[in-house]
A and B are shown apart, each in its own frame.
Chain A
Amino acid sequence: MGAQMANRITFGSISARVVLACVVIFAVFPVVWTLLNSFKEVVDIVTPTPKLFFTPTLENFRYVFERPSVRLGLSNSGIIVFSAVALGALFGIPAAYALAHMKSRVGDEIKFFVLSLRFLPPVAVAIPLMSIYLDLGLYDTRLSLTMTYVLLTLSTIIWLSIPAFERVPQNIEEAARLDGYGPYAIFFLVALPVAGPSLFGAIIFSFILVWNEFLIALMLTTSEAKTLPIVASEFTLLGRNVPWGILNASVIVLSIPPLIFLGVLSGFLNRMFKK
């Protein structure tokens, strides 16, 4: 299959372009289609032939934003995700800086420990935590979900920030030391500003990770601390006399925050993989 495709690329740049166009359509069409549907009335969705042109309505979004459950989910998600990311950055960035400078076996082991946290199946974390939080009376609270999410943000930020600090040229830090800067001054005044943009990328990455998180929130919340993905999933699974336009609108609302940072992440990738 690879061979065929490569041959077509060589012998017909037109067919290659067609394939490329198909790939781009494959990537973005589902999102565009959902966006269109979110502005449709039900009659324009339940048609035998899919409709590209229609009179748009904001009714679906109005309904979604007026639901108390969506508002609660939005504020829960905002508070929980912001706190977890802030704590993750506060603890994680210094840790990454220290680890980037540790060229020992201990350093490697710590790095592996941090990475290995990603091997934990979420369900294996959520089930025991559910039982613990129930016993502590912390079940279905923003506090308990935030604490759990710190595990995700902290390990992700550490892991992604190490390369950012490793790329800070050693001679800059050396020069600062010769100028009489102490180790903390070097971190705050030299390393942090230089690595800044990549660190921002790492923080955004962890933000998206927890904003999108589903399974843990599903198991650790039931009503008061429900996050937006849970609320949106409840919408999408409603079932009876399905209000399709509203369902489409609810997932669009959920997806806006991660998509805002598309540019930041694209730049982050460019820096990560530059020689």
Chain B
Amino acid sequence: MKAKSHINKVFLGPPLFVLAVLALVPTIAAIIISFQNKELGRRGTSFVGFENYINLFSDRRFSNAMKVSLQWEAITVIGTMIVAILVAILLFETTRGRTRAIISTLLIVPVLLPRVTAAFVWKFMFNPLLGVINYPIKELTGAPIEFLSNIQTALISVAVVDIWQWGLFFAVILLKLLETLPKEPFEAARIDKARTWEIYAYVAIPMLAAPLISLTFVKMVESLRSFDLIYVMTRGGPGIVTETLDMYAFNQGFVESGRISYASAMAVLMLLTTIITFTVLFKWVRKWQTA
């Protein structure tokens, strides 16, 4: 028993120390910097109290960024789950054996791509002059659709790329989960002459409720990482309709003015929001799943 606690100390001690240092140092630094007026390329830094935070609340681009981030979360999480469920059922119903294995492998290709690649690939396809998506549109209507520079379509168009990557990946996971379900309830439902969609809506999906909620949670966390797509595809434009919080923080801290402190204040608020939200959600999901 003693030997076991020894191995735990050796195995857990160093990694937890490393993680704690790597995670806590930037977090504490972010908090300290957010109370200063640090700027790239300007000498002299002093503490300014809550000034950065107060300024944030009257900054329309900040409130816009919060709105865009929430929209992004909603669109990508819901879109991903819908695509995942539909495609998983489609695969489960129509394919067997080798075909299914090959298609499953193909469907995880998008998620493996670097997001920079995914973003470029789609940006090129959306291109009003050269894009393959716009080619049929031009043939039919005579004019291309400017997917990425139209205020109505820009955010959705970027979200399509995210759903392309994650929705198809989750479909494969869901398919594997469907395969693990017992056959009996399906057969019972079939004998009752339930329609296919009824079997899934009333039997299969409820049986998979727990993993579905876990997947939704994972997607909510991963959707925070929208930056790469938006950076390559729209840079937050047209105007600021796709400017998410991380894009705006990056713009403030790096590109437009190098206001590290102002960006740090944003980072701290994001940190607090995500940690609190996801901790509460996680504990809730845990409790719900074990109950």
**Do A and B touch, yes or no (CB under 8 Å, in the complex)?**
yes
Measured CB to CB, the residues of A under 8 A from B are 1-3, 5-7, 9-10, 13, 16-17, 19-20, 23-24, 26-28, 30-31, 33-34, 37, 45-46, 49-50, 91-92, 94-95, 97-99, 101-102, 110, 112-125, 127-132, 147-148, 150-151, 154-155, 158, 182-184, 187, 208, 211-212, 214-215, 218-219, 229, 232-233, 236-237, 244, 247-248, 251-252, 254-255, 258-259, 261-263, 265-266, 269-270, 273-275
Contacts of B109 in A (CB 8 A): 27-28, 31, 259, 262
What is the CA–CA distance of A190 and B201 in the complex, to the nearest angstrom?
Answer: 44
Question: Which label, helix, strand, loop or mixed, suits the secondary structure of the A interface?
Answer: helix
Q: Are B227 and A102 in contact (CB under 8 A)?
A: no
Decide: A7 near B268, CB < 8 A? Known: A49-B135, A154-B15: no
Decide: A262 near B112, CB < 8 A? Known: A91-B14, A124-B267, A127-B249: yes
Q: Are B246 and A20 in contact (CB under 8 A)?
A: no
Contacts of B264 in A (CB 8 A): 127-128, 131
Task: Please encode chain B, from 8 to 40, with 1 for each CB lying within 8 Å of some chain A CB and 0 for all others.
Answer: 101110111011001101110110010000100
Question: Which label, helix, strand, loop or mixed, suits the secondary structure of the B interface?
Answer: helix
Interface bracket on B = 35 or more
Counting CB contacts under 8 A, is B104 at the interface? yes
Q: Which of A101, A187, A229, A263 contacts B116 (CB 8 A)?
A: A229
Contacts of B118 in A (CB 8 A): 30
Counting CB contacts under 8 A, is B209 at the interface? no
Counting CB contacts under 8 A, is B4 at the interface? yes
Q: Are B113 and A124 in contact (CB under 8 A)?
A: no
Q: Are A154 and B114 in contact (CB under 8 A)?
A: no
Q: Are A187 and B22 in contact (CB under 8 A)?
A: no
Q: Are A94 and B121 in contact (CB under 8 A)?
A: no
Contacts of B135 in A (CB 8 A): 49-50
Q: A62: shortest Cβ distance to chain B, in Å? A: 20
Q: Which of B85, B93, B228, B263 contacts A214 (CB 8 A)?
A: B228
Contacts of A244 in B (CB 8 A): 124, 130
Counting CB contacts under 8 A, is B122 at the interface? yes
What are 20 A-B pairs with beta-carbon distances under 8 A? A5-B89, A30-B125, A31-B109, A31-B110, A122-B225, A122-B227, A124-B268, A127-B260, A129-B29, A131-B260, A132-B25, A158-B15, A183-B4, A232-B120, A251-B114, A252-B117, A265-B108, A266-B104, A273-B176, A274-B180
